[in-house]
């Protein structure tokens, strides 16, 4: 996959005051935009380089045929950098399972299948190194004790280098069920690296990430009590498609558990 260089940001003379907010997250907000489009607008202070990288990567991944929304433009709105994407009509995999709990394990296997499909692609040029991104995360984690930091860095030494496309934040809220099939969103954490580094993060999310707010009690209980089985279901299906070392996954899960800031949105 090739990624074009020298993208120039278009300054859009619109405001977002009267735009409907679709989602709010740690790093960005998503607004309804023109017909069939949404604007993913980074929070004030976020790097323009991050948005440009996500824009280029999203273009390349869409061109490669992965099920991702089309990307239209990189823009600036009210001093904030944003990306205009195709608007997807659907709900996240997590919300779909909430509505149809009997699909929980089938959906978990499908997540593994989508993840294996991502890792079958070489990473586009310009993506940061998975290893270096994790190292930076460890070194910037002020809450880590000296002992835990040393443990995390020692675990990182076991992570092989790789050239696969890695999503970096692959979980059920970043997969949208649509009439065209599942679509994968939120590529801002994508890296070039080893697939099992990505798998270990997703497995850690299944084990430990908090259930999104507003979830009915029955679904919260179902998720909490089935975490171990869901993680095993995900790993078993993934490793059927893309064999790898469970021992390495366990080591990398330890690393992620030490440094985790669990995502709850885009």
| pTM metric for this prediction | 0.87
pLDDT at 221: 84
Give the C-alpha separation, 266 to 247, whole Å: 31
Give the C-alpha separation, 17 to 130, whole Å: 37
Give the C-alpha separation, 264 to 181, whole Å: 23
Give the C-alpha separation, 260 to 162, whole Å: 22
pLDDT at 241: 98
Cα separation values, 86 from 6, 135, 231, 248, Å: 22, 33, 31, 37
Where in the chain do CATH 3.30.200.20 domains reside?
10-86
Fold of 90-259: Aminoglycoside 3'-phosphotransferase; Chain: A, domain 2 (3.90.1200)
Q: Which residues pair with 200 in a beta bridge?
A: none
Nearest CA to 230 out of 124, 106, 113 is that of 106
Give the C-alpha separation, 156 to 216, whole Å: 38
**Which ranges of the chain would DSSP assign to H, the alpha helix?**
48-64, 93-99, 104-119, 130-140, 146-157, 195-208, 217-241, 246-259
pLDDT at 3: 43
Nearest CA to 67 out of 147, 185, 225, 214 is that of 185
pLDDT 10s digits, 247-263: 999 999 999 888 876 54
pLDDT at 4: 45
Where in the chain do CATH 3.90.1200.10 domains reside?
90-259
pLDDT per residue of the chain (266 residues) written in tens, 0 to 9: 444 444 555 655 556 666 788 887 778 889 999 889 999 998 887 778 888 989 999 999 999 999 999 999 999 888 889 999 999 999 999 888 888 888 889 999 999 999 999 999 999 888 999 999 999 999 988 888 999 999 999 999 999 999 999 999 999 999 999 999 999 999 999 999 999 999 999 999 998 877 777 777 887 788 888 889 999 999 999 999 999 999 999 999 999 888 876 544 44
pLDDT at 179: 95
* Secondary-structure class of domain 10-86 per CATH: alpha beta
Contact 31, 22 (CB under 8 A): yes
Nearest CA to 203 out of 164, 237, 177 is that of 237
Give the C-alpha separation, 67 to 86, whole Å: 12
144 CB burial (10 A radius; 0-12, 13-18, 19+): middle
Q: What is the dihedral of CA 95, 68, 75, 17, to 10 degrees?
A: -20
């Amino acid at each position: 996959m090739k990624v074009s260089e020298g993208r120039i940001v278009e300054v859009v003379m619109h405001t977002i005051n009267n735009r409907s907010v679709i989602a709010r997250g740690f790093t960005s907000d998503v607004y309804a935009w023109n017909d069939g489009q949404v604007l993913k607008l980074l929070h004030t202070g976020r790097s323009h380089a991050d948005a440009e990288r996500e824009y280029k990567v999203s273009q390349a991944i869409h061109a490669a045929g992965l099920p991702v929304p089309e990307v239209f433009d990189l823009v600036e709105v009210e001093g904030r950098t944003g990306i205009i994407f195709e608007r997807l009509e659907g709900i996240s995999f997590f919300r779909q399972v909430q509505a149809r709990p009997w699909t929980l394990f089938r959906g978990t296997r499908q997540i593994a299948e989508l993840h294996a499909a991502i890792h079958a692609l070489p990473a586009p040029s310009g993506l940061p190194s998975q290893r270096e991104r994790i190292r930076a995360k460890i070194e910037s984690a002020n809450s880590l004790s000296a002992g835990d930091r040393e443990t995390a860095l020692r675990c990182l030494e076991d992570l092989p280098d790789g050239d696969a496309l890695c999503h970096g934040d692959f979980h059920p809220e970043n997969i949208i069920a649509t009439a065209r099939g599942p679509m994968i969103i939120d590529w801002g954490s994508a890296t070039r690296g080893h697939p099992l580094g990505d798998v270990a993060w997703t497995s850690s999310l299944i084990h430990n990430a908090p259930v999104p707010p507003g979830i009915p009690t029955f679904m919260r209980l179902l998720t909490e009590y089935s975490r171990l089985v869901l993680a095993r279901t995900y790993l078993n299906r993934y490793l059927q498609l893309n064999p790898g070392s469970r021992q390495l996954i366990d080591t990398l899960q330890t690393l992620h558990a030490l440094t985790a800031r669990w995502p709850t949105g885009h």
